[in-house]
Amino acid sequence: MSAQTQSVKRLTPPDIRARKGGEPLVCLTAYDAPTAKLLDPHCDFLLVGDSVGMVVHGLPNTIGVSLDMMILHGKAVMRGSDRALVCVDMPFSSYERSKEQAFDNAARVLQETGCQAVKVESGVYVADTIRYLSERAIPVVGHVGLRPQAALAEGGFKAKGRDEASRNRVIEEAIATDEAGAFAIVIEGVAEDLAQEITERVKAPTIGIGASASCDGQILVTQDMMGLFDWTPRFVKRYADLKTSMEDGVKAYAAEVRDRSFPGPDQVYKARKS
């Protein structure tokens, strides 16, 4: 073991797994270095989510997000953080075709970004892939319930587990994901009691979003919880009002540019006296 390996202080997949039933995991999304730096001291887990497509790139859903985009944002988040575990989403079409395709792309994400784990949306059919990756030393997080990459097929972002058939399907997904070796499982957009039941039944810690306070941790999209957008899903609580702060800032700037009070004496350089 090298000195460099010994000095690593980031949380690891086993550290996250060991939090099952313990202190809740604090998780948020991050897509860039300055935001990651701000979140890192407060979070256990930073997700470079494929929600970056909608939040940063203005896409209508996550389908148009590419592996190269995820790698670019993953590198930035790694540069900005040094404590939280960083997990990068595998985008649509990067892991579904075959286990081998998933391995090659997940290995690329780990090697090029230096992140600690990848996340896949884990319909039951993805369980074999999770097993294949986990057995080959790729730490995998699963994602069950509302799976945003299925939005086209399902006609939108639909909460899950509100009737018996849907409930059984989500339980099946979660158990398959757990048994295949995922070290944590995101549960998104499901009935509260279903999230609680899954949390009790799986060995991996569950990370809820629109799920239940009884999950082993919680995650939100940072820009949603910071109040950057007019609309958010009903499960989001706003902890700040970034939109108003930014609007106030840009209005004040525009007024000062127009009346020439910016730049003022403190913001300009003076010629040196010779």
Nearest CB to ligand KIV, comparing residues 182 and 270: 182
Q: Does 190 bind ligand KIV (CB under 6 A)?
A: no
Helices within 21-145 (DSSP H only): 33-39, 52-55, 67-80, 99-113, 127-135
- Residues with catalytic annotation? 188
Tell which positions 203-242 bind ligand KIV, by CB under 6 A.
Answer: 209, 219, 221
CA distance 218 to 203: 17
Which among 99, 222, 70 has a CA at the least distance from the CA of 62?
Answer: 70
Give the count of alpha carbons within 13 A of 110, CB side only: 16
Nearest CB to ligand KIV, comparing residues 2 and 195: 195
Nearest CB to ligand KIV, comparing residues 156 and 264: 156
CB of 157 to ligand KIV, least distance (A): 10
Site map for ligand KIV, 141-160, x if CB under 6 A? --x-----------------
Q: Does 50 bind ligand KIV (CB under 6 A)?
A: yes
Q: Which two tokens stand for residue 184?
A: 């944590």
Q: Select the residue interacting with ligand KIV from 36, 186, 191, 204 (CB under 6 A).
A: 186
CA distance 153 to 158: 11
Residues in the chain: 274
Footprint on this chain of ligand KIV (rule: CB under 6 A): 29, 47, 49-51, 89, 143, 186, 188, 209, 219, 221
